[in-house]
Structure 1
């Protein structure tokens, strides 16, 4: 797969500007176009505290100015959540026409109901595309130079690794890291090294045995130790009352993430 169309969700101007900068950086690296998506939510469900009024015009101007300055082909889309069934449904619909979806991390600690509550995981489960989730604190104008791949043999990690190949081919370094591998999984890691080598990616492989720390904290600590600027991981999910619920490790990472996370299901 190649990255030729990147969909970036734009809600409020402050966070969206940083998110768009990252999308444009990736677009230039991969010679891709960018689709900017603004979704007007139902009037009873604010998109974000302090941004209840429609900012479509300001966001459209921001998108057009930044894409022009970056010399990247841009397409602006303003959608109505009421027509498509909701904000998440709108993002998932337009993800059909993209190779990658860029969204922001959910803010935690508020009792206020928002249209963006749990949005990243809902897009991961519903879009059918890899989703790049950007932290809501800090600035991240680039990602993918030093990549850490969180591995656990299974469908979700396999999907995430395959989706990440365009990033890995462009990266300066790639580390595959597994916490508490089960018996026989080290052979799988060697198979992964050969698979990536066939795609022109040289990857280092490492495992770690941890019994006391949360696996999510181990991954985030490893990100810090390696100086990684992108974490790739599969979105394992449990079925709870008919709905997908993000697994404990992925949920922990999305809550405490310190760098952009590329996640697939």
Structure 2
């Protein structure tokens, strides 16, 4: 099993170039077909030039048109692809961003998006964008943090394992990455309000499953904790062990046209410090 089609979200955010460079390098190395998807984004209201001039401040430059913004994103994407001699696909659907992303995700083996940065509205074309593609796209989603330097490869991977369906789906979806890693650390996590059915050495069974695939795996049982403590523990372990990638199930459900995330999922999406692969 390997990834043959990658879908990367392209925008005009500060973090996008690094995201595209990672996706292009990944596609070249596999090799895989790469599709870049640009979705409509409308920036916040432009300040009134008269008011600003009246306050003694120079007027800001006029905002870019939608066509200019799209052109700038496409030029950046194509420039990086040309450097790697990659012939990508470029799509610009114009309807609802969340629904379009969900639809096109289903034609890919892996979806690559950026973490939402609340100081940079360019990072999300619609409310709940990342949550929507994780929970409704039906494909594994690699989310890249907006802060810090991205790893060149995922040699050291941390898998959050609770024995649930979502965790099992994430483990299977990440198998190409797990098989290529130097070490996969299985960290068993159990929330304190749940009975743990995984036996005297939780995580051992999934560790044996990985080993049969040739994965170099280490298993670390953990004590029970609440959602927030589990999220903090994962990030702390990732920092202590110089983890390149966290693999975990994405938990949540839809309620009145809004995605309601599980506690650990929400914690990781908000405070992630390394790339995270999620499957639902």
TM-score of the pair, normalised by structure 2: 0.82
Residues 30-49 of structure 1: matches in 2 within 5 Å? 30-41=30-41, 45-46=42-43
Cα distance, 1:236 vs structure 2: 1.5
Cα distance, 1:110 vs structure 2: 8.4
Q: 2:159 aligns with which of 145, 149, 156?
A: 149
Asked if 1:76 corresponds to 2:73, the answer is no
Q: Which residue in the other structure is 1:252 paired with?
A: 267
Cα distance, 1:73 vs structure 2: 3.3
Q: Quick one: structure 1 residues 18 and 215, their matched pair in 2 at CA, closer, same or farther if it must change by over 3 Å?
A: same
Residues 93-108 of structure 1: matches in 2 within 5 Å? 93-108=103-118
Q: Quick one: structure 1 residues 146 and 100, their matched pair in 2 at CA, closer, same or farther if it must change by over 3 Å?
A: same
Question: Could you say what the CA RMSD is over the residues aligned between the two structures, in angstroms?
Answer: 2.7
Cα distance, 1:258 vs structure 2: 0.3
Q: Quick one: structure 1 residues 129 and 200, their matched pair in 2 at CA, closer, same or farther if it must change by over 3 Å?
A: same
Residues 191-210 of structure 1: matches in 2 within 5 Å? 191-209=205-223
Cα distance, 1:156 vs structure 2: 0.5
Cα distance, 1:211 vs structure 2: 4.9
Asked if 1:169 corresponds to 2:166, the answer is no
* SS of residue in 2 equivalent to 1:194: helix
Alignment coverage as a number of residue pairs:
257
Kept in 2, the 8 Å contact 1:47–1:115? The answer is no
Q: Quick one: structure 1 residues 116 and 19, their matched pair in 2 at CA, closer, same or farther if it must change by over 3 Å?
A: farther
Residues 1-265 of structure 1: matches in 2 within 5 Å? 1-12=1-12, 14-41=14-41, 45-46=42-43, 53-54=65-66, 55-81=69-95, 86-108=96-118, 115-140=125-150, 142-180=152-190, 182-186=195-199, 187=201, 189-209=203-223, 211=225, 214-238=229-253, 240-241=255-256, 244-265=259-280
CA distance in 2 between counterparts of 1:264 and 1:196 reads 17
Superimposed CA distance per residue, residues 74-117 of structure 1 (whole angstroms, 9 cap, x where no aligned partner): 11112212xxxx111111121122111111111237899x6333
Q: Quick one: structure 1 residues 13 and 238, their matched pair in 2 at CA, closer, same or farther if it must change by over 3 Å?
A: closer
Kept in 1, the 8 Å contact 2:157–2:183? The answer is yes
Cα distance, 1:133 vs structure 2: 0.6
CA distance in 2 between counterparts of 1:259 and 1:173 reads 16
Q: Which runs of 5+ in 2 are unaligned?
A: 47-61
Q: Quick one: structure 1 residues 22 and 171, their matched pair in 2 at CA, closer, same or farther if it must change by over 3 Å?
A: same
Moved more, 199-208 or 253-262: 199-208
Kept in 2, the 8 Å contact 1:148–1:177? The answer is yes
Q: Quick one: structure 1 residues 135 and 184, their matched pair in 2 at CA, closer, same or farther if it must change by over 3 Å?
A: same
Cα distance, 1:217 vs structure 2: 0.5
Q: Which runs of 5+ in 1 are unaligned?
A: none
